[in-house]
Amino acid sequence: MADQIEAHPPQARRRGSSIRVRLMLLILLVTIPVSGERLVSLFNQRAERIADTEDTLHNIAVRAALAQQEAFASATAMLEVLSREAALLLREPAVCQRLTERLNGEVAGIQGLYFSTPEGRILCASSRSVVGMDISDKTYLARALASNQPVLSDLARGPSALAPLVLSKAERSDNGEPVAVVIVGLDLQWLSRIAAETGAAAGVTVDVIDAQGTVLVRYPNNGDIVGRNFAGAPLVQATAERDEGNVHVPGLDGVLRYVAFARFAGTDARLVVGMDDASILDPIDREILSSIVLHLSVLAVVLLVTWYVADRLVVQPIRRLAADISALGEGDGGNYGLKLDALADVGVQEFAPLVKAFSDLGLRLTERTSALQTLNGRLAALASTDGLTGLANRRTFDVQLSEDWVRSRDDARPLGVIMIDVDSFKLYNDALGHLAGDDALRAVARIMLAAVAGTPYLVARYGGEEFVVLLPGADLEAAREVAEDIRRLVMSLGIVHPGVAIRRLTVSAGVASTVPGNGQSPDGLLAAADLALYEAKGKGRNLVMTHVGPPAH
C-alpha cells in the first residue's frame, strides 16, 4: 500500500501541469481578441489621421493657390490702367517716377513697377537705380509685344534684375505700333504668406518651386534651400506630374513628409505644403506602442498569477484531495468525518477565488472594450459644403449664424452680413448655357474666398446665384468695404456677359450689421441685408447698398 501511495504524487504533478497550461490558454483566448480589437482600432485611427492630414494639407495648398488670384487680379487691373496711361506718363518722367514709387509702396503683393521701351530700355521705375538700364531677359518682353493681353512670365525665366515673376503688357499707338511696355513685378514672399500663416500653427513647411526645380520661397525660412535647384529630388519629380494632389516622399531636406501641392495659375510653379511623418504619427505610434506594452505586461502578469493561482488553488488542493482520498482508503475510521469535512473545504475554499478572479478579469476587459467603443463613436465631424462651388452650404451657414449671433450678443460685438447676387444670371445662362453658368459661379466663389482669406469670415452659397458672407465683429463700414472688394474683384475677373450692356459679369450686394440684442433675431439681420440687396438691384445693379438702422425683429 505504501508503494501505491508513493506512486500518486508524480501522476498528480503531470496532471497539474496540464491544468496550468490549459488555464493559461484560456486566458489567451479571452484577452487576445480584446487586445487585437484595441490594436486594430489604433491602427485604423493611425490611417484616419494620415488621411485627415492629407486632406488638411491639400486644402491649405488649394486655398493658398486660390488666394494668389487676388494678387494676380490686383496686379492685372493696375497693369491695364497704367498701360493705357503709359504714353502720357512717359512724357512726364517726374510724375511717372513718383507714381510708380507710391504704387509700389501701397499695393500689397507688388515688388516693382517699370515702364520700358519696346527694345527693353527702362525709362521709369519704382527703383531709381534701374532707370536707364536694359532688361537682360527679353523672352517675356517679346511675348508682351506679341500680345494685346497682359502676359505672365515663366518663373524660371523671370528677370532677376526686376522680380522672379512679372506681368507685362505693351501699350500701342493708334496705328498699332508698340510705344512702351508696362511691367509689374509680383512679390513671391507675399504670395506665399497666406499659406505660411495657415500652416504655421500646424507645423507645416511651405515651398514655392519653379518649373526647373529651383526653390524660390521657403517657410520657415531656410537659407540652405532657397535658391538651390532640386530638379532630381523625389519631391520635385512627384509634384511636377499633376496640377495638384498629395504625395508621400522625402522633402528637400531629406525628411520623409506627407505633401500636398497646387500649381500657380498661368505658370508651371507649384506651391508645396508638407508635414513630416514624426509630427503626424509620433503621438499615435507612441499610443500604439504603449498599448502593446501595456497589454503584454498585463498579459504576462495575468499568466504569472494564473500559474501561481493554479498551483495553489487547483494543483495543490487536488494533491491534498488525492492524499486525503488515499488516507480515506486506509480505513482510518476514527478520523473519517474530519477528512470528509476537509474534502468539502477543499472544494469550496480553493476554487471560489479562482472563479471570482476570472469574473473580475472579464468585467475589466468588458469595461475597457465598452469604453473603447464609446470613444470610437465620438470620432466624426463632417463639414457640409456646397457641391458646385465648394463653399459652405446654406445649412452650415444657418448653424454658424445662430452661433455667432449668440456669441456676438453675449460679447456686445457687431455681427455683419453681406447678401450677394450675380447680376442678370438667367440671361447669362440663357446666352451661354448652364455649364458656363456653373463655371461662372465657381469663379465668383473662388474670388469671394480670396477676398476674405486670412479672416474669420464665412462665405456660403445661399441658393442659386445668391451668396452670403457672415462677418463676426464687423460693423457696417467694415462689412461694406468687404462687399466692395468682392464687387471689384468679380469685375476684375473679366467674365464676358453677352446679355448686359457692360458685357461683363457683375454682382450686387446688400450689407447689414448690428450688435444683437434681446428681442432681435438673426432672421431680421438677413432680412435687412436682403432689403439692401433689393435696393442695389433696383438702382441698376453692380452696386453695394447698406441697410442703415436696426434690423427687423
DSSP state of 229: B
What lies within 8 Å, CB to CB, of 423 at 6+ separation is 497, 500, 505, 506, 507, 508, 537, 541, 542
Which residue in the list 54, 171, 350, 465 is annotated as catalytic? 465
φ/ψ (deg, to 5) at 469: -120, 130
User: Active site includes 465?
Assistant: yes
User: What size, in residues, is the chain?
Assistant: 553
DSSP state of 496: B
199, with CB counted inside 10 A (0-12, 13-18, 19+), is buried
Q: What's the pLDDT band for 196 if we cut at 50, 70, 90?
A: low
**Same fold across 189-279 and 394-546:** no
Cα–Cα distance, 280 to 255 (Å, whole number): 13
Q: What's the pLDDT band for 340 if we cut at 50, 70, 90?
A: very low
Q: How much is the average pLDDT of 415-440?
A: 94
In 3D space, the residue among 462, 460, 463 whose CA is nearest the CA of residue 471 turns out to be: 460
Domain ranges of the chain: 2-16+281-377, 189-279, 394-546
Cα–Cα distance, 514 to 524 (Å, whole number): 10
Quick check: 11 pLDDT over 50? no
* CATH of region 394-546, choose from 3.30.70.270, 3.30.70.260, 1.20.1270.360, 3.40.1350.10: 3.30.70.270
Lowest mean pLDDT among 86-95, 138-147, 219-228, 236-245: 219-228
Would you put residue 367 in left (φ > 0), alpha (ψ -120 to 50) or beta? alpha
Quick check: 338 pLDDT over 60? no
Tell me how far CA of residue 252 lies from CA of 201, 214, 272, 422, 472, in angstroms: 21, 11, 11, 44, 40
pTM (2 decimals)? 0.41
Q: Which is more confident, 33 or 353?
A: 33
| 181 neighbors 117 (Cβ within 8 angstroms) | yes
Q: Which is more confident, 484 or 72?
A: 484
Q: pLDDT of 465-475, one tens digit each?
A: 999 999 999 99
pLDDT at 199: 53
Q: How much is the average pLDDT of 365-387?
A: 61
In 3D space, the residue among 173, 199, 185 whose CA is nearest the CA of residue 130 turns out to be: 185
Mapping DSSP to helix (H, G, I), strand (E, B) and coil, where does residue 408 land? helix
Q: pLDDT of 50-82, one tens digit each?
A: 887 778 777 777 776 676 666 677 778 888 888
Mapping DSSP to helix (H, G, I), strand (E, B) and coil, where does residue 505 land? coil
Q: What's the pLDDT band for 402 if we cut at 50, 70, 90?
A: very high
Residue-averaged pLDDT of the chain:
78
Quick check: 158 pLDDT over 90? no
Q: How much is the average pLDDT of 404-428?
A: 95
One DSSP character per residue, 132-169 reads TPBPS--HHHHHHHT-SS-EEPPGGG--TTT-SSEEEE
Q: What's the pLDDT band for 378 if we cut at 50, 70, 90?
A: very low
Quick check: 430 pLDDT over 60? yes
Q: What's the pLDDT band for 210 if we cut at 50, 70, 90?
A: confident
DSSP state of 178: E
Q: What percent of the chain has pLDDT over 90?
A: 27
Record: fold of 189-279: Beta-Lactamase (3.30.450)
The top-scoring range by mean pLDDT among 198-207, 226-235, 343-352 is 226-235
| 471 neighbors 418 (Cβ within 8 angstroms) | yes
Q: How much is the average pLDDT of 98-111?
A: 81
The top-scoring range by mean pLDDT among 50-54, 162-166, 232-236 is 232-236
Q: Cell 521709369 maps to which residue? A: 124
